[in-house]
Structure 1
Amino acid sequence: MAILASQARPYRDFLTPVLHSRFTKASLYTFALCYFIAIWMGKMEDLFWSWFPIGPAGMRASLIFICSLMIYVLRVAQWHVGQRSTESPSETFKKYTLRKATFYTIGIYALSAFLYGETYIHSRTPAARLSYTEAGKAYERIKLNERPVYLRCLFLSLAVAQGIVHIWKDYDKIQIPLMRPNKERKDEAQIATVLPSAKKPLQLLRQELMPMAKTAGTFASATLFIGSVVYFLALRKVIWSWHYRFARNIHALAKTSKPSGLSPFLNLIFMFAVQGTLLALLWQFTNTAFDAYITQEPLKKGKPITSDSKDPNGSLLNGLKSKKPEVKAIAFWELALITDSFNDRRKTIYGELDRKKAPTFKQVTDICLAEINEISNRINAALDPMFRSEDADGKKELTTPISLVPQISQPIKNGQIAGPGFAPETRMQKIESVTSQIARAHSSPQNAQNAQARKYLKQGQKKFEERAQEAEGLWVKYTNQFAASPFGWPFRTCIRHTANVVVNGAPYSRQSSIVNAITTLTNLTVASLKEDEYGQFNTEVPQMVRVFTTAIKKIEEYMESLQVHWTDVDCLKKPEAERKDIPEVNVVLDTLKEGLERILGAFNEYLSPMGMSRVEIQEAKKLIAKPSVPEIEERRRR
């Protein structure tokens, strides 16, 4: 009976519970930090009630935990796999600054800081002088207290600064580990010693706690200084007037009033220095805990997360076909783990031949090859803007519209016909073209015979060209200086970013999916010699070799043609041999070569009977051949 794709449960039915379980573990450790902050925030007069959970300490811990829970919700809503792919900082700023997610991020941090600040202010004793109003003398009206206003502004300033850092450093990024092809595969008994255990995230949090505390202290101190300057120079009068108008509706205040002052000021500074550091530490701990637990392997009790499904491979295929890049990336990761370390599960990929649409190994192969083919399509589009990739039916889109009306030519002219010549391209050619046109316009058969006039024309043209060259030299000099300055940094086009956009994709890098797809195909191909009982998988090997070969050639061709932009001053400072050494591209290229080498090593003698020509086989072998020392030296000289 055929295995129907509709019978397989969706991949999210297995991924979501695992993520929820990890989220719960991360939340428990975060709540422990919140409980410590709550104890520190409370009154130390009564030793029992200062820490007893069922009491003020527990209430404060719950409110502080809500502050961290907001950040968890933010991370769950906005996490993505892979780094952002843009060519310059200005493009990143233009693309990500004014989107809704940016304002949402800053708003969530502001709400978290507000709740934390209110929890702290209402936990203080009257001696801290943080109440909403001050009674003053018996004959005076009630006065508004500026001290809590200033403290709230500092907390909100800390939130805005943290939100900007969150967006700038892309805290929403999740880096999935890359599974490289291994020469010796591991079995299920060995995998427990290789893969991270459940204790490792906790160990990571313990190791990073002190560095996070130091960073939080520095961050709070910088916010205290900058926030105070902005408050006193720009915001104090505006905030006080709004606050006073609102308070007049609640309390019997005078019609007008000036800020009441912040004395004692040092005590207030100390309050924010401590609590601002703790709040920044809570945010950093929350982000670190989320990253530590979300990047654990897609395993449950040492088995792939889809093992509980009635149709494990069908559920995994649903994940590989998902439209969400994050779900698809994790499914590729699980597939690479299965082909690398779970022998029994890997054998089922070869054996399911009666699945609807196509056998399991055929669908897996097509999905992985499509991921690799996208590299060639992106490179073709970068080298040729008119390139159009093939659609699902194998038809190419038309690059230009076809005109059905024939174009009628003009009648042939009699007499001499002047050729169009070459259009000026460079700046100096355009200057020469303009000066020559001026000379021709003021020439005639009568004055052409005047040698003195021709002499003056040549002298004027020469001086004009010299001045143009001087102006062009100054322009190049000043533009290079601007690009090298901090003001020109946002406009630098980095060769590393450009290559990463083309090879690994955009708006987020797909490097993990690409490398895991290559590893999957390599492992399946090598293992098929012993585990493919029906001998059907070998029909896919020639296509794999061709796709791998094309991708390697395209990457090398693109990197050879890629030129360093004149604004990339950091790259221009390097030796010429190191300028095109792009780590992200090298990882993909090396993985392709490793995979192709292992496939050729396993199926070398069978490729010709499978339909591959001798030229194709020799071309593939040439790509994986390691260059000799003279060849390496020659490449460096170039």
Structure 2
Amino acid sequence: MGEAPSGRHRHDLDGDNRRPPRYSVAGPVAGTSQSPSGRIYPSRTNYLFRASVSTQQRKCKAHTSFNICHFFGDGAFTSTMAATARIRPYKDFLTPALHRRFTRAAAILLAVCYAESILLGEWNSFLWSWFPLGRAGFRTGLLFISAFSIFVLRVAQLHVGQRTSNSGIATFRGYAFRYQTIQTTGWYLFSAWIFSEVFIYSAPKSASIKWITEGKNNERPRLNERPIYIMAFFLVLAVLQSAIHLAYDYDRVDLPAIKTAKKDSAAKPEQGSTESIGPSTKIRDSLPGIVAKAFGRVLVMTILMPFVYSIFIRNTAWKYTLGFAKLFWNLPKTTSLPIISPFHWTVLGRTLYGGVMLVLLWEIGNRVFSTYVAEGPLKNERPITYESKDPNGSLLTGLKGKKLQTRAFAFWELVLIAERYQGRRKVIFEDIDRKGGSTWSQILTACTETITSMDTRVQTLDPASSPTEHVDIQPSRTPQIVSMLNGGDKSVKPEEPIPTLPRLTGDIQKENIWNAPPQPKTTAERIAKGSAALASEYGNTPTAPISVDGRRLLTQATSKVLTPEQQQALSPQGIWIALSPYVTQFLQSPLGWPFRQEFRRRIAAVVLGQPYGDAGIILDSVEALSLFAVASLKEDIYGNVQKDVPDIIRMLTKSLVSLEAMRKSFGVHWTDVSGNIESPEVDLIVGGLRGALQDIIGAFGEYFDDMKMNRADVRAAREAAKAPEPQRPAEMQETRKRK
């Protein structure tokens, strides 16, 4: 009997010339040989359990009352166990990967804390000023607690996808009064308090910022107000940083929108880069901007904080700090404020220096965390489900996950498999014996649900919510494509009458309505008549309505007293025309930004969904279907993918046409004073749909007749896949300027 090839691992699924293992019992598998009679014999080595078959037979006989291995064949034990093995969920592989990245990010943060510990300490000794086992190491540990609290916050509020809302004020109303706001502020306050204690403790004695000032000539020690001001400065800075954290959504993990290596990609770098740039390089490149941002923010705080402290904080902070200090020191009984204010230039300089250190700790920590967590779902240049006993099953659990974070990484891994790993693609194509359908059919269902959910949001857009002002667009190919998709070449069948709902009232009375109604005869009719009269009187004004003659006299008096111009100015339309210049100036100012319903925000809320939306998942679904379909021409030995290609083409065409039509007819709100009608998110999705259609049509164009695909669908797909006219965006902008 044949021997299994040595040196081949059971998960060598990504090689170009290696045949992937077969997990079904139908047909020969790796490590078996076939006799002339057709019977399958296992070889000496088993790939799933790395044990000889004789050893497995002994174990099987020891745990069963009859020889099930002999009854079903020598290879039944392995096949049955592999088929009934529990599928590990995708999160079991994603969570350890995130833990490894978290550990690397924490190591970098510890190095930053050590560098700041050396800068904050005294340089009175060449060795102990930097030696890790001395004061520098102790300060590093305390600073790491301060910085690590931000990591705890990020883990607790981690999410994928951007926040989608129509305006800034809508985002504020939706997120400001949540528990996450209190949690964010609390963790930043804790971090600032730890840092302030380390900063005050590490200052030299000549700085005079210790909590207690020793008295002279038998005087009692006094409470020093300078450390109170420094701590208040750091705490207010923490409140400001928490507001920035919430406003700019630091909790978001910014995954790249485009994960595949496009040769002719026209995407901008900020929209999704395909270059393999390491996380350390990204962090190093962002350091100059972080330093400039931290210095500018703290400089403004240093200028404004003396006024804020004197007006709002000083009395309360002095009172409570003095009461707490009297528990440990014998201080004077007076509670009056010190005559000398703590705003010495040396104190202001130290707050500027310490504030920059603290903000750098926060900003670098956030950047390091976001950079490492946003890495691809790979381990040792292989997909993270590579180590699973059932890689396809684990991947499917991620594609069907409820959390957006899990699905985002699962779709990312799917599109990487479709692009790079030929062995995994073959396993997906050949895995047809699975509960719930073949692996390809379940992948197709998951991708289709993602794309059709976007179509549903686009098609169910309420026309009443759209503004009355629209951008004029010249006629395009969209109506023709819609006609093709709807079967314009076919005869239209007459619509069947829609059955009406059951009637809840009687027929309309045919008697003379001017006759007096009949008097109620029974007690129930009298009660009903009285209740109806009472209900009709409820809410009416006690005064009689103005008569026709009175209204005519009022109109005549108004026309005699006011001129037509004055009457028009006092009308609601006239009042609005008079106030519109001031409203426009307010909306154009920075204070009016939260009230603008910008075009980009509104259309992103529709296309991506609310409250969070990620264009990357939609693009991954489109790219995965395209790559799998093209690769199936050479790798799908069963031809299952080719049968679904017509449906994929129709779905992508319909999505592209509906999205472009909505994009062109989407109105500009009257508060959008900028008039910018650009939408990078929608442009990315449109480009992904068009590129996928072009790839599939280019690969299957000569087989459309054999696939029995409708000619109207083919024409619609070819029309939709054509590149747009390059002058269209400029024409749209010129149209908007004319309006």
1:88-113 CA-to-partner distances (Å, cap 9, x unmatched) read: 01001111111111121111111111
What percentage of aligned pairs have identical amino acids?
A: 35
Match of 1:204 among 277, 282, 287: 282
> Residues 146 and 309 of structure 1: is their aligned pair in 2 closer, same or farther, counting only changes over 3 Å?
same
Contact 2:656 2:689 in 1 (8 A): yes
Secondary structure in 1 aligned to 2:181? helix
2:352 equivalent in structure 1: 273
Measured after TM superposition, the shift of residue 251 of structure 1 is 2.8
Matches of 2:149 and 2:420, distance apart in 1: 38
Measured after TM superposition, the shift of residue 600 of structure 1 is 2.1
Letter in 2 for 1:18: A
Measured after TM superposition, the shift of residue 270 of structure 1 is 2.0
Unaligned residue ranges in structure 1 (runs of 5+)? 186-193, 387-401, 417-436, 448-452, 572-578
Match of 1:305 among 370, 384, 395: 384
Secondary structure in 1 aligned to 2:612? coil
1:437-475 CA-to-partner distances (Å, cap 9, x unmatched) read: 99965699xx9xxxxx99999889983456535434214
> Residues 211 and 140 of structure 1: is their aligned pair in 2 closer, same or farther, counting only changes over 3 Å?
same
CA RMSD of aligned residues (A): 3.2
Matches of 2:262 and 2:295, distance apart in 1: 47
Matches of 1:481 and 1:498, distance apart in 2: 22
Contact 1:503 1:585 in 2 (8 A): yes
Matches of 1:66 and 1:513, distance apart in 2: 36
Letter in 1 for 2:699: A
Q: Using the TM superposition, name which of 292-301 and 470-479 deviates more.
A: 470-479
Contact 1:179 1:333 in 2 (8 A): no
Matches of 1:454 and 1:163, distance apart in 2: 59
Secondary structure in 2 aligned to 1:565? coil
Match of 2:153 among 64, 74, 80: 74
> Residues 263 and 536 of structure 1: is their aligned pair in 2 closer, same or farther, counting only changes over 3 Å?
closer
1:328-354 CA-to-partner distances (Å, cap 9, x unmatched) read: 101111111110111111121111000
Letter in 2 for 1:216: A
Letter in 1 for 2:723: K
Letter in 1 for 2:309: Y
Is it true that 1:501 corresponds to 2:599 in the alignment? no
Letter in 2 for 1:410: I
Is it true that 1:616 corresponds to 2:695 in the alignment? no
TM-score of the superposed pair, with normalisation by structure 2:
0.73
Equivalent runs, 1:268-417 vs 2, <5 Å: 268-383=347-462, 404-412=502-510
Letter in 1 for 2:209: L
Matches of 1:378 and 1:129, distance apart in 2: 63
Contact 2:253 2:374 in 1 (8 A): yes
1:45-75 CA-to-partner distances (Å, cap 9, x unmatched) read: 1111111111111111111111111111211
Match of 1:247 among 325, 337, 340: 325
Measured after TM superposition, the shift of residue 318 of structure 1 is 1.1
Matches of 1:266 and 1:181, distance apart in 2: 55
Is it true that 1:15 corresponds to 2:77 in the alignment? no
Matches of 1:296 and 1:221, distance apart in 2: 34
1:514-565 CA-to-partner distances (Å, cap 9, x unmatched) read: 0011000000011111110111111221221221122112212222331111
Matches of 1:79 and 1:566, distance apart in 2: 35
Letter in 2 for 1:146: E
Secondary structure in 2 aligned to 1:569? coil
Matches of 2:639 and 2:461, distance apart in 1: 40
Unaligned residue ranges in structure 2 (runs of 5+)? 1-23, 26-81, 265-273, 466-499, 515-544
Letter in 2 for 1:341: R
Match of 1:510 among 609, 614, 624: 614
Contact 1:522 1:599 in 2 (8 A): yes
Contact 2:599 2:668 in 1 (8 A): yes
Match of 1:590 among 687, 690, 708: 687
Measured after TM superposition, the shift of residue 29 of structure 1 is 1.9
Letter in 2 for 1:233: I
Secondary structure in 2 aligned to 1:517? helix
Contact 1:179 1:336 in 2 (8 A): no
1:220-250 CA-to-partner distances (Å, cap 9, x unmatched) read: 2222222222111221011111222222333
Equivalent runs, 1:44-59 vs 2, <5 Å: 44-59=123-138
Secondary structure in 1 aligned to 2:220? coil
Taking CA–CA contacts closer than 8 Å with sequence separation of 6 or more, which of the two structures ends up with the larger relative contact order?
A: 1
Contact 1:82 1:508 in 2 (8 A): yes
1:427 equivalent in structure 2: none
Letter in 1 for 2:95: T
Letter in 1 for 2:622: I
1:288-337 CA-to-partner distances (Å, cap 9, x unmatched) read: 11122112221111111111111111111111111111111011111111
Q: Which has the larger radius of gyration?
A: 2
Between the two proteins, the alignment pairs up a number of residues equal to 580
Secondary structure in 1 aligned to 2:89? coil
2:665 equivalent in structure 1: 561
Contact 1:439 1:457 in 2 (8 A): no
Contact 1:14 1:306 in 2 (8 A): yes
Matches of 1:443 and 1:148, distance apart in 2: 74
Matches of 1:224 and 1:139, distance apart in 2: 37
Is it true that 1:552 corresponds to 2:650 in the alignment? no
> Residues 511 and 631 of structure 1: is their aligned pair in 2 closer, same or farther, counting only changes over 3 Å?
closer
Secondary structure in 2 aligned to 1:24? helix
Contact 1:378 1:502 in 2 (8 A): yes
> Residues 356 and 462 of structure 1: is their aligned pair in 2 closer, same or farther, counting only changes over 3 Å?
farther
2:313 equivalent in structure 1: 235
Match of 1:215 among 293, 300, 309: 293
TM-score of the superposed pair, with normalisation by structure 1:
0.83
1:562-617 CA-to-partner distances (Å, cap 9, x unmatched) read: 1111110011xxxxxxx533221111011111111222222234445545422222
